[in-house]
Amino acid sequence: MRRAGKKNNRIARRGLMLVLSSPSGAGKTTLSRMLLRADRSVELSVSVTTRPKRRREVDGHDYHFITLAHFQRMVKAGELLEWAEVFGNCYGTPRRPVEKALRAGRDVLFDIDWQGTQQLREKARDDLVSVFVLPPTVPELERRLKRRAQDSGAIIRSRMAKASGEMSHWPEYDYVIVNRDKVAAFAEVRAILEAERLKRERQVGLSGFVRALQAKL
């Protein structure tokens, strides 16, 4: 009975959208995976993309791989919260599953770039928490890109050339983390998430909870 009472007294909370952005190779994908493993209240927003599926990627888990024509239909129908073209491929966030998760009090994690973050801010600023992840040095950024062994030398050079422009958008984010060590950076991400969950405006059941307390005084 005591356990049931505690469960019934829980304060309802609206979920939030947690965005991690960074130049390619700075570590946002690694941090995202660590968070998903550690916190069951967080779910990943699975983007749609027109790019080819990489080895070991699973359709519906890593991305929803669709045709350009399908992507364009989704844009026209307003089915994407945000979308962008990156390195010749299109990426976008389906609207419906995100809105469903937020209403249920679950947090949604986004691994997107600054363009997508700007669009989310325009459409859902109150739900958005944005974090920009920086590399500690340029040589370390290049080393991480090469270590992934996912891209050709030409693509790595292209990503390095684009990194400066991407990093110029850091002032647009709520928080900035320098990823010198993934364990320390992950701890900072978790601290941000816990603090944002406690914000008064996200605790939609707080008014009723306080009124119930007052009624018993």
CA distance 211 to 176: 38
Residues in Cβ contact with 104 at an 8 Å cutoff, skipping those fewer than 6 apart: 15
The model's pTM = 0.82
Query: Is position 213 within any domain?
Result: no
Answer whether residue 39 is part of any domain: yes
195 has pLDDT over 50: yes
Rounded CA-CA distance 145/148 in Å is 5
Q: What is the pLDDT of residues 148-186, one digit of tens each?
A: 656 667 777 777 777 888 889 999 999 999 999 999 999
- The predicted pLDDT at position 152 comes to 67
Q: Is residue 85 part of a domain?
A: yes
Instruction: Please write the tens of the pLDDT for every residue from 115-155.
Output: 889 999 998 899 999 999 999 888 887 787 767 656 667 77
- Range from 3-7, 159-163, 188-192 carrying the lowest mean pLDDT: 3-7
Mean pLDDT of 105-122: 92
Q: Over the chain, what is the mean pLDDT?
A: 89
Q: Identify whether 6 is part of a domain.
A: no
Q: How many domains in the chain? A: 1
Domain assignment of residue 210, yes or no: no
In a domain, 207, yes or no: no
**Domain of 24: which CATH number?**
3.40.50.300
Residue 156: Cβ within 10 Å count? 17
In a domain, 168, yes or no: yes
Domain that includes residue 198, residue range: 14-202
